[in-house]
């Protein structure tokens, strides 16, 4: 399988991240029913919508937020970076109009850390070897 076309690489990147984000959101919403809410009327649909929005915001808004908050992130030795992920999750909560919600103080950080870890694992362990091989 030769992956020379950039569109195919982007599609594979999107697919792997989409599936991993969806799985993380579903697992965390099942484990932490009181703090992570996904509308139960159409659970899978709202999981997919939330995942899509998270992915889009991670690819568009997050780099801009990173550059804007770079001085604060540098001064705090990187401790401010999870706040960017929490902000992204809160934006998703606003965009989905309450069909996806994360309650509590620490739970957004836990979800953001899980998404960051999955993002790293998918990028470094799955995608880079596939793209490097070709």
Closest residue by Cα to residue 87 from 107, 62, 104, 64: 62
The values of phi and psi at residue 102, to 5°, are -125, 120
Q: Could you report the per-residue pLDDT of 46-99, keeping only the tens digit for each? A: 999 999 999 899 889 999 999 999 999 889 988 888 889 899 999 999 999 989
- Whether the CB-CB separation of 94 and 87 falls below 8 Å is answered with no
Pair of tokens at residue 35: 């703090």
Q: Which pLDDT score is estimated for 3?
A: 52
pLDDT band at 4 (very low <50, low <70, confident <90, very high): low
């Amino acid at each position: 399988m030769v992956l020379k076309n950039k569109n195919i690489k982007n599609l594979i990147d999107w697919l792997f991240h989409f599936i991993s984000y969806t799985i993380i959101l579903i697992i965390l919403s099942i484990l932490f029913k009181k703090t992570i809410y996904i509308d139960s009327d159409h659970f899978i649909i709202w999981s997919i919508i939330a995942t899509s929005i998270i992915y889009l915001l991670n690819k568009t808004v997050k780099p801009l937020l990173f550059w804007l908050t770079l001085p604060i992130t540098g001064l705090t030795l990187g401790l401010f970076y999870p706040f960017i992920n929490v902000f992204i999750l809160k934006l998703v909560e606003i965009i989905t109009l309450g069909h996806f919600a994360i309650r509590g103080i620490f739970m957004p950080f836990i979800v953001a850390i899980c998404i960051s870890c999955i993002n790293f694992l998918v990028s470094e362990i799955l995608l880079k070897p596939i793209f490097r091989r070709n």
